[in-house]
Amino acid sequence: MGLTIALNRGRILKECMPLLEAAGIRPEEDIYGSRKLVFKTVDGDHRLVIMRGSDVPTYVAYGAADVGITGKDTLLEYRGGGGFYERLDLGIGRCRIMSAAPVGAGLNQSPLTVATKFVNIAEEYYESKGRHVSIIKLSGAMELAPLMNLADCIVDIVDTGNTLRANGLEPLETIAEISARLIVNHASMKTRFDEVQHLIERLRQNLVER
């Protein structure tokens, strides 16, 4: 049996599939038009498994998948104790994790109240800056938090910044540059080295040729 590859659904899936297909990994059926979560491939008997990005590191770390593709933000936020190697920056799904606040906000108060879904990333960032913060975890639109006086600022994914500006916020500090990464289970890197390395080299070559 070939490799089991865990894939981050959504934008990253749409951007990584052309790279996988150029590397010879093609699903037997249309991934986008199906409700299935597990897909066989035309060649190599690989399996493609579609899931939430936040689950990809867990499936790979515990060996349910040999390889995974997900965003660097997910890897930075993950606290599952390792279990995988980060082997390749695919250069897709590019964006940034940034702090943002209402235009002109001083943010001199202590503690600073921060709304975010990236709790671990935010905690580590502000600790490195020596700032005392109170973090509120949210799952929806972060821009609402300062508008509704729930938080002083936010930490969130920023692409164009248009949504921030539309809601009277401005980006402040870049915390991390984000793109999709390929990760490999520790055991699979040893026991299936040739297969894994072949995939990595094919993807790397495709990136060079793009």
* Domain 95-177 class in CATH: alpha beta
Q: CA separation (Å) from 1 to 4, 24, 41, 74?
A: 9, 15, 11, 28
Write out the E strands in 61-186. 67-71, 84-89, 95-102, 112-116, 133-137, 153-158, 169-178, 180-185
Low-confidence ranges of the chain (pLDDT < 50): none
Question: How far is the C-alpha of 170 from the C-alpha of 6, rounded, in Å?
Answer: 35
* Domains of the chain by residue range: 4-93+179-209, 95-177
pLDDT value at residue 86: 97
pLDDT value at residue 181: 98
* Domain 4-93+179-209 class in CATH: alpha beta
Same fold, 4-93+179-209 and 95-177: yes
Identify residue 35 by its one-letter amino acid code: R
Write out the E strands in the chain. 4-8, 38-40, 47-51, 67-71, 84-89, 95-102, 112-116, 133-137, 153-158, 169-178, 180-185
Question: Cβ contacts of residue 36 below 8 Å, gap of 6+?
Answer: 29
Task: Please state, as a whole number, how many other Cβ atoms lie within 10 Å of the Cβ of residue 181.
Answer: 23
Global confidence as pTM: 0.91
Task: Please state, as a whole number, how many other Cβ atoms lie within 10 Å of the Cβ of residue 108.
Answer: 7
CB of 171 within 8 A of CB of 132? no
Per-residue pLDDT tens digits for 139-167 = 999 999 999 999 999 999 999 899 999 99
